[in-house]
Amino acid sequence: MMTVSGKTLFGRLDLIARLIRDTEPVPEDSLIMMEELRIILDYAGRQSAALTEFTEAALRLDNYRYYDIMLFKVPEKICRAYPSFDRFLNRVLANDILFRGFPSGDPKITPARSFRVFYRMVYALLMLVSANLDRLAAAGTDGLIALFVEYFRLVELTDFDTAVLALIGDGDNGNDNGTDNNTAA
C-alpha cells in the first residue's frame, strides 16, 4: 500500500488506516492522538540530545497547529518548502518498514498496534518538521536530512515500538481485541 501510485503519502497512510480499522479498532479521537504525539515527542527529546531543541519547539505548538497537521494542512506547507518531500518521506518510511520488518517483530504487538505506533511516528516527525520549518528551510535540504537521520537513529537505537506503546497505552489492557483503553493519556 505504501507504493500505490496516484496517491500522496498521506492518502496511502489513510488507506492503511482504513484497512487496519476494518480488522481491529484504532482510536481516532484527535485530542487523544494529540496527547499521544506530545508523549512521543517528549520521549524523543529525552532520548536524543540532538532532537531536544526540535522536540521542544514541537511541544510548544498549540492544539490548533497539531490539528492542522493531522488534517494534512501543514504537510502541504512542508511540501511547498520541499517540493519532493512526499516522495522523500515515502522512501524513508518504506526503508524503515523494510528495515524494522513491519509489522513489529514482537508477536505481542498486533498489526493494528504496530500501525498505531507507525502512524504516530510519522505524525511526530511531521510535528518536528512543521515546528522547525523556518529553521530547517534556512539550512536547506541538509537540515531536513539531518533531522531525519537523528529521528530514525532514535527509532533504530531504542525499542521504539514497545516504548511508545508503553507510554501511550498499548491498547491491550488484558484483552487482545486491539481496542484502545488509552491508559497513559
Nearest to 45 by CA among 119, 185, 147: 147
- What value does the mean pLDDT of the chain take? 77
pLDDT at 12 over 50: yes
Three cell numbers written together for 9: 503519502
Q: How far is CA 65 from CA 31, 61, 98, 127, 150, in A?
A: 12, 6, 31, 9, 23
Sorting pLDDT into bands at 50, 70 and 90, what band is 172?
very low
**CA-based end-to-end distance of the chain:** 30
d(CA 125, CA 132): 11
Q: Mean pLDDT across the stretch 171-179?
A: 38
pLDDT at 178 over 70: no
Percent of the chain with pLDDT over 90: 21
Reply yes or no on whether the pLDDT at 8 is more than 90.
no
CA of 15: how far to CAs of 9, 20, 21, 30, 117, in Å?
A: 10, 9, 10, 18, 16
Task: Answer whether residue 53 shows pLDDT above 70.
Answer: yes
Residues in CB range of 26: below 8 A, 6 or more apart:
17, 20, 112, 115, 116, 178, 180
pLDDT above 80 (res 16) = no
The answer to whether 55 and 128 are in contact (CB under 8 A) is yes
Closest C-alpha among 63, 27, 38, 68 to residue 172:
27
